[in-house]
Amino acid sequence: MIPSASSLALFCLASVALAVVPGPAVAYIVTQSVDKGRRAGLASALGVSNGGLVHVAAATAGLSALVASSATAFTAVKLVGSAYLIVVGIRRILGRDADEDDEQPSPARHRKLWAQGVVVNVLNPKTALFFLAFLPQFVDAHRGSVALQVAFLGVIFVAIAFTSDCAYAVAADLLAGRLRRSGRGAKLRRWASGGVFVVLGVTAAAARRAT
Q: Encode 177-208 in three state secondary structure.
A: HHHHCCHHHHHHHHHHHHHHHHHHHHHHHCCC
DSSP-derived letter for residue 25 is H
State the CB neighbour count (10 A cutoff) for residue 93.
18
Residue 202: the pLDDT is 82
State the CB neighbour count (10 A cutoff) for residue 1.
11
DSSP-derived letter for residue 137 is G
**What does the pLDDT look like over 76-105, one tens digit per residue?**
877 887 887 788 778 878 876 655 555 555
Residue 108: the pLDDT is 80
CA distance linking residue 58 with residue 62, whole number of Å = 6
The residue extents of the domains of the chain are 5-9+24-205
Residue 102: the pLDDT is 53
pTM for this entry: 0.77
Residues in CB range of 100: below 8 A, 6 or more apart: none
Residue 200: the pLDDT is 75
Tell me the residue type at 114: W
Is the pLDDT at 1 greater than 70, yes or no? no
Residue 120: the pLDDT is 85
Is the pLDDT at 123 greater than 90, yes or no? no
**What does the pLDDT look like over 58-69, one tens digit per residue?**
888 877 776 666
Alpha helical stretches, state H, the chain: 5-19, 24-36, 38-61, 63-69, 71-94, 96-102, 106-122, 125-134, 146-180, 183-205
